Amino acid sequence: MRKLMPRVGVPMLAVLALAGCGGSSKSTSSPSTTAASAPVAVDAAIAAKVPAAIKSKGTLTVASEAQYAPNEFIAPDGHTIIGMDADLMKALGEVMGLKVKLVNSNFETIIPGLAAGRYDLGASSFTDTKEREKTVDFVDYFQAGISFYAKSSANPGGKTVADICGKTVAVEKGTVEQEEATKQSAKCTKEGKKSVSVLSFPGQNPVNLAIASGRAEVGMADSPVVAYQVKLSKGTFKLVGETYEVAPYGIAIPKKSGMTTPILAALKALIANGTYTKILAKWGIQSGAISEPTVNGAKS
């Protein structure tokens, strides 16, 4: 993950923070984004690749931190996880003849939870990195970069990550954005510039509130998330600077679980039959589509 955004007005703050996120709170979304996707047919050949231990359970337990619209967030009912990742995981399960149980989890605990056997898979806008590949395997399914955002009434200035020296930047804890902001802060100091004041939070809602309240000047999150939130804010928020560090999202899979092969095959099937494209189009993020999924395709 990298990870999102807010809006304004005191009454709107609560509503808007929920619109982009979830956690244990309710979330809002446009009616068109909550519609169920059409069922996908089971592929017997791919289903045969599923390990016996998983097949006997019949259900995949998938961890996701539902605070990252449009990738994963909470529906208006206050508990159902919806979004691009949710739809994709359900479709993958259908191809493999499995049900999917999405579990709203803290982002930082998902990969350790996979290693400990608490979850079968992790689908939470994970950026595939060399460091994370030491613990889990990834089937890469999307491309996203890092974007910056701010209140429309603010003028933080700058276009690139090198321009955040001396600024207060809000990020979610445990994300690539936190790593990038912290790394840039060290560079700023080395160059004789003011360091970056990095505000990290254990969820995306407080990141959103930090931007909306003016506590932070700039927010950093994944490009599809920033674009989606700016659109929903109807002028309250704006994109600033340039998107950079485009990298793959990956479905996190415990090593030696035997699930990498069937997940990869199922994803290829969804791309071939058009379901993958329909899911991305439903959430307005077709620009991040890939044509050929890979395993452990981290760039760094």
Helices (H), 38-123: 44-47, 52-57, 84-96, 107-115
**What proportion of the chain, given as a percentage, has pLDDT over 90?**
71
CA distance 71 to 64: 10
Count of structural domains, the chain: 2
Single residue among 245, 262, 277 that ends a domain in this structure = 245
217 & 286 share domain: no
pTM, to two decimals: 0.79
> Which of 9-13, 42-46, 66-70, 81-85 has the least mean pLDDT?
9-13
221 & 276 share domain: no
- Predicted confidence (pLDDT) at residue 133 exceeds the cutoff of 60: yes
Q: How far is CA 259 from CA 40, 47, 60, in A?
A: 19, 11, 10
- Predicted confidence (pLDDT) at residue 16 exceeds the cutoff of 60: no
* Domain residue limits at 134: 18-144+247-295
256 & 216 share domain: no
216 & 111 share domain: no
130 & 172 share domain: no
**CATH at residue 213:** 3.40.190.10
26 & 124 share domain: yes
**What proportion of the chain, given as a percentage, has pLDDT over 70?**
87
For 231-259, the pLDDT digits (tens) are 887 888 889 999 999 999 999 999 999 99
pLDDT band at 103 (very low <50, low <70, confident <90, very high): very high
The answer to whether 50 and 262 are in contact (CB under 8 A) is yes
133 & 209 share domain: no
Task: Report the pLDDT value the prediction gives residue 21, as an integer from 0 to 100.
Answer: 32
The answer to whether 113 and 123 are in contact (CB under 8 A) is no
What one-character-per-residue DSSP string does 117-167 give? Answer: TS-SEE-S--B--TTGGGTEEEEEEEEEEEEEEEETT-----SSGGGGTT-
- Predicted confidence (pLDDT) at residue 102 exceeds the cutoff of 70: yes
Burial 198-219 (b: 16+ CB within 10 A, else e): bbbbebbbbbbbbbbeeebbbb
